[in-house]
């Protein structure tokens, strides 16, 4: 009997651990879909952070959501780990390649514990071989240095699915705004008189600011877009970490009806709003994967230090996209505008 057949017969309850960032959780949904499509008789629990739990709320692939917070005290963490142990999971998938994820999998005492680890981290690799019953070793850095293809983050998750003997019926990302989310966004756009407009989205992040972008540079980018695409509208989105620059841009454009900046949105409301955009321009953040989940073409700007890795492993998944390397704001503005034109005419 094959290993995956043994796992199937002995498993009834599964814990999927994904305690990293928003984009990582979205990129893990094809694996959750594979579990659902193949093992509908199994109970699947998802372990995520308070911020990312919304991605999986009402998701049909998940039976229950567990939440862990890095802000908890040691006592709260131990209490939570004991709670997981009492759940008596048969299979734990350590999808986050972190020491805590591996430790959590080991602590559950599940009969089957699977996950992947990067071989360039030898100390962690030794830990994994003790913590997991079925580790998947990945040599990303060496393959990258040799110019070889490296698996996308989604493909790495699907390696776990294949290890379990699952058939892959869909590789699409899952992030589904509700009707209420779309109605909320529609009301905002009706108020702005933006219904059925050509909208260019720009997501603000501190990565722009760290490399010299100021309000004047965003203003120039907006002008260049609206000069080339007559009658177009520009939507800025931002989060609480970018509140200062976001408010500055909001105040700058408060009397201009063709530009708006918004931030007080839930993840699914944000997804519903990005779905209204013709394109999204963003640095390498979770916005890339929120947009890709809604099939919105993306222009992604990567830092030169991590371009080779991030533009491959965390590239926009199954959506039209263009990848740029961060440069001076003036150079990048011209490149963004030219790249939008190229993206507009891609297949």
pLDDT by residue (tens digit) across 123-151? 777 778 789 999 998 889 889 888 899 99
Give me the residue spans of the domains in the chain. 3-163, 179-344
CATH class name, domain 179-344: alpha beta
Q: What is the pTM for the complete model shown?
A: 0.96
The β-bridge relationship of strands 298-302 and 43-48 is: unpaired
CATH for 3-163?
A: 3.40.50.2000
CB-CB contact of 38 with 143 (8 Å): no
Report pLDDT for 4: 77
Report pLDDT for 145: 87
Per CATH, 3-163 and 179-344 having the same topology is answered: yes
Q: Can you tell me the distance from the alpha carbon of 104 to that of 122, in angstroms, rounded to the nearest whole number?
A: 19
Q: Can you tell me the distance from the alpha carbon of 338 to that of 347, in angstroms, rounded to the nearest whole number?
A: 17
Residue 143: C-alpha distances to residues 139, 148, 150, 213, 317 (Å): 6, 5, 7, 34, 21
pLDDT tens, position by position, 171-219: 999 999 999 999 999 999 999 999 999 999 999 999 998 878 999 999 9
pLDDT averaged over every residue in the chain? 94
* Most distant CA pair in the chain, distance: 70
């Amino acid at each position: 009997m094959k290993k995956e057949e043994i796992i199937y017969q002995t498993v009834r309850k599964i814990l999927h651990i994904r305690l990293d960032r928003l984009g990582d959780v979205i990129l893990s949904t094809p694996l959750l879909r594979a579990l659902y499509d193949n093992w509908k008789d199994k109970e699947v629990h998802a372990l995520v952070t308070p911020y990312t739990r919304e991605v999986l709320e009402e998701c049909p692939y998940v039976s229950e959501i567990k939440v862990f917070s890095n802000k908890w005290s040691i006592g709260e963490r131990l209490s939570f780990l004991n709670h997981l142990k009492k759940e008596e999971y048969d299979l734990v998938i350590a999808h986050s390649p972190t020491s805590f994820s591996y430790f959590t999998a080991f602590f559950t005492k599940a009969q089957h514990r699977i996950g992947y680890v990067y071989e360039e981290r030898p100390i962690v690799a030794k830990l994994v071989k003790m913590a997991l019953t079925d580790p998947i070793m990945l040599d990303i850095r060496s393959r990258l240095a040799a110019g070889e293809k490296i698996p996308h983050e989604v493909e790495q998750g699907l390696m776990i699915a294949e290890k379990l003997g699952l058939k892959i019926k869909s590789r699409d990302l899952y992030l589904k705004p509700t009707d209420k989310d779309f109605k909320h966004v529609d009301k905002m756009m009706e108020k702005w008189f933006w219904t059925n407009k050509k909208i260019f989205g720009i997501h603000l992040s501190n990565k722009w600011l760290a490399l010299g972008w100021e309000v004047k540079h965003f203003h120039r980018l907006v002008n260049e877009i609206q000069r080339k695409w007559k009658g177009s509208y520009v939507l800025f989105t931002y989060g609480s970490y970018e509140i200062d620059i976001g408010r500055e841009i909001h105040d700058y454009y408060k009397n201009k009806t063709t530009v708006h900046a918004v931030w007080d949105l839930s993840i699914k409301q944000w997804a519903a709003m990005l779905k209204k955009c013709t394109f999204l321009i963003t640095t390498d953040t979770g916005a890339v994967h929120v947009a890709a989940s809604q099939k919105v073409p993306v222009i992604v700007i990567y830092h030169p230090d991590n371009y080779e890795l991030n533009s491959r492993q965390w590239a926009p998944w199954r959506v039209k996209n263009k990848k740029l390397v961060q440069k001076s704001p003036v150079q990048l503005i011209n490149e963004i505008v030219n790249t939008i034109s190229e993206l507009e005419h891609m297949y």
